């Protein structure tokens, strides 16, 4: 490893994690990031691991798929996840971060690592960056540049898709009407006033007027989205409303678990706002990804109770999202099934949302997975099999199974996990059983990694007599 060089394209969540993990294992890393030389419609800085959609990394509840994934990140020593925890802001049962402090933290650690060279330039082709490297990792994310996407399409035979993703607006806290908003997390005692979310309650009349204006507002993209073009997990709020006037009220604007302290009753609908920074200076409109023009966002979203005079720190935007057809192109190590680049013997790994995963923690975990896969390759070893009983193992089994058809980006969830050995009627108990089973599988997997010397703490684990036998794959 000490004589190996790995080139990583893209310094997002996955690329940053892969770079730090590989460098800590002794590889020389050349991390290529096109910002600020070439920017994107949604990035606002040149920092690594910048979050552009939401500042939430989802639930921390241990007995949830998202919580299981966070346990994997913690136990396997994810550095980007550790940075998220260091820069957390209150968000109820979720992990949310001060996005500026978080990305600055990751950037500083990359810049300080003696084995990482951070190169600021746009990568327009794969072959040029494979030269002089022992492995190539492509982690350019959903906003892969046109030139690189075209080159990747040529290399893979055109097996890639482009679709649209959406980011929610952010409003300034001092422009909100706190006489109309109330602070409360779902199912929290309304009298405590200690919730991590602000809530904007709608009356029925206010809601119906808002929805009518929302669906008729001017959009940037002036056609209805076809199902295959629209990223289902990040749909614009107006597209949800277009499916039916009550659709947002049973989704993003659901009032379940909330009690308006002014009335003592559940509101007809409610928008939740989550703090964007540790000081609570700005708030994200939760679930309000949108394709409306900026003037229309200002007009329509100011119809929300409490937001009549809202100042927008960032308007919502739509942007292209690119990903490869993972079931046909990637193996369980996230390595392209094709042997190598033309006229090259360098293996190509794909990480992050470009690999067809959805979600921040999923991107971080894929960067860690690729780092382990690349390390095993460079050492001439076989990577221990990733158990399907783990959250990420279930996702990889689904995403890289050639039998999976019409693949769309997926996040970890219990729906793709192997069934339990016994039927458990209670959902709470069933999820707890999934988590317990996943924990045991994760510990066994970690022991296997340690036995192969693939973890930074492997020596201590092996000396403790844990782990399995590793073998040479050459």
Res 255 pLDDT > 80: yes
What gap in Å lies between CA 310 and CA 174, rounded to an integer? 8
Tell me what pLDDT residue 33 has: 96
Gap between the Cα atoms of 9 and 33, Å rounded:
6
What pLDDT is attached to residue 322? Answer: 83
Average pLDDT, the chain: 88
Query: What is the rounded average pLDDT of the residues 227-240?
Result: 68
Q: How far apart are CA 202 and CA 36, in angstroms?
A: 42
Q: Which helix (H) or strand (E) holds 399?
A: helix 391-399
Distance, CA of 147 to CA of 138 (rounded, Å) = 14
Whole-number percent of the chain with pLDDT over 70:
88
Percent helix / strand / coil, the chain, rounded to 5? 35, 20, 45
Which among 391, 384, 447, 386 has a CA at the least distance from the CA of 418?
391
Predicted model pTM:
0.78
Residue 167: the pLDDT is: 74
- The reported pLDDT for the residue numbered 320 is 67
Model pLDDT, residue 151:
87
**Structure token digits, residue 378:** 């460079």
Q: What is the dihedral of CA 238, 299, 173, 67, to 10 degrees?
A: 0
**Contact in structure between 372 and 349 (CB atoms under 8 Å):** no
Pair 71, 81: CB distance under 8 Å: no
Which residues participate in the annotated binding site? Answer: 10-15
Q: Which residues are annotated as a binding site for FAD?
A: 10-15
Q: Rounded mean pLDDT of 161-166?
A: 57
Identify any residues that bridge with 271 across adjacent strands, giving them in sequence order: 200
Task: Choose among 65, 49, 43, 59: nearest CA to 17.
Answer: 49
What's residue 235's pLDDT? 80
Domain annotation for the chain: domains and CATH numbers: 5-164+320-461 (3.50.50.60), 169-315 (2.40.30.260)
pLDDT tens for each residue of 306-363: 999 999 988 887 766 788 889 988 999 999 887 556 667 899 999 999 998 889 999 9
CB atoms under 10 Å from CB of 302, counted, come to 15
pLDDT for residue 58: 92
Q: Which residues contact 400 (CB under 8 A, 6 or more apart)?
A: 326, 327, 330, 331, 332, 334
Between CA 356 and CA 323 the distance in angstroms is 5
The dihedral through the CA atoms of 418, 63, 96, 47 has a sign that is negative
**Residue among 448, 444, 424 nearest 434 (CA):** 424
Instruction: Write down the pLDDT at residue 314.
Output: 85
Q: Per-residue confidence at 187, pLDDT binned at 50, 70, 90?
A: confident
Give yes or no for residue 365 having a pLDDT over 90.
yes
Where in 311-461 does DSSP place strands (E)? 312-314, 317-324, 348-350
Mean pLDDT of all residues in 8-37: 96
Q: What is the structure's pLDDT at 2?
A: 67
Q: Which pLDDT belongs to residue 154?
A: 82
User: What whole-number distance in Å separates Cα of residue 18 and Cα of residue 372?
Assistant: 9
Is 90 exceeded by the pLDDT of residue 129?
yes
Average pLDDT over residues 411-429: 88
Cβ-based burial of 333 (10 A; exposed 0-12, middle 13-18, buried ≥19) = buried
Structure tokens at 340: 């190598």
Looking up tokens 């050492």, which residue turns up?
A: 379
């Amino acid at each position: 490893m000490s004589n190996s060089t790995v080139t990583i394209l893209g310094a997002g969540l996955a690329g940053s994690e892969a770079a730090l993990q590989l460098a800590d294992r002794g590889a020389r890393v050349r991390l290529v990031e096109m910002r600020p030389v070439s920017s994107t419609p949604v990035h606002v800085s040149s920092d690594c691991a910048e979050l552009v959609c939401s500042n939430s990394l989802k639930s921390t509840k241990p007995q949830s798929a998202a919580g299981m994934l966070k346990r994997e990140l913690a136990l396997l020593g994810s550095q980007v996840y550790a940075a998220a925890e260091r820069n957390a802001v209150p968000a109820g049962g979720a992990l949310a971060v001060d996005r500026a402090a978080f990305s600055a933290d990751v950037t500083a650690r990359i810049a300080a690592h003696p084995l990482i060279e951070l190169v600021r330039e746009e990568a327009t082709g794969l072959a040029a960056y494979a030269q002089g490297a022992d492995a190539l990792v492509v982690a350019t994310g959903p906003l892969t540049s046109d030139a690189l996407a075209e080159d990747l399409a040529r290399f893979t035979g055109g097996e890639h898709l482009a679709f649209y993703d959406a980011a929610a607006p952010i409003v300034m806290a001092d422009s909100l009407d706190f006489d109309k908003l109330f602070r409360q997390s779902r199912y929290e005692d309304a009298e405590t006033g200690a919730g991590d979310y602000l809530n904007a309650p709608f009356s029925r009349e206010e809601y119906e007027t808002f929805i009518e204006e929302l669906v008729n507002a001017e959009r940037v993209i002036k056609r209805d989205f076809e199902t295959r073009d629209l990223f289902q997990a990040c749909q614009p709020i107006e597209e949800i409303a277009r499916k039916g006037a009550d659709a947002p009220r049973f989704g993003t604007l659901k009032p379940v678990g909330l009690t308006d302290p002014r009335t003592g009753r559940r509101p007809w609908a409610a928008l939740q706002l989550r703090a964007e920074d540790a000081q609570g200076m700005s708030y994200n409109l939760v679930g309000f990804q949108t394709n409306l023009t900026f003037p229309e966002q200002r007009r329509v979203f100011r119809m929300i109770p409490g937001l009549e005079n809202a100042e927008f720190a960032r308007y919502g935007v739509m942007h292209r999202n690119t990903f490869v057809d993972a079931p046909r192109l990637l193996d369980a190590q996230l390595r392209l099934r094709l042997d190598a680049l033309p006229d090259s013997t360098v293996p190509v790994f794909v990480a992050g949302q470009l690999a067809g995963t959805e979600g921040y923690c999923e991107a971080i975990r894929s960067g860690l997975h690729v780092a382990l896969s690349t390390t095993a390759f460079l050492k001439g070893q076989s990577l221990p099999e990733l158990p399907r009983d783990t959250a990420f193992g279930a996702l990889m089994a689904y995403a890289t199974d050639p039998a999976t058809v019409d693949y769309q980006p997926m996040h970890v969830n219990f729906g793709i996990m192997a069934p339990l050995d016994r039927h458990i009627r209670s959902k709470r108990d069933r999820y707890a059983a999934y988590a317990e089973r996943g924990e045991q599988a994760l510990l066994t997997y970690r022991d296997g990694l340690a036995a192969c010397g693939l973890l930074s703490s492997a020596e201590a684990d092996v000396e403790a007599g844990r782990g399995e036998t590793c073998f040479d794959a050459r």
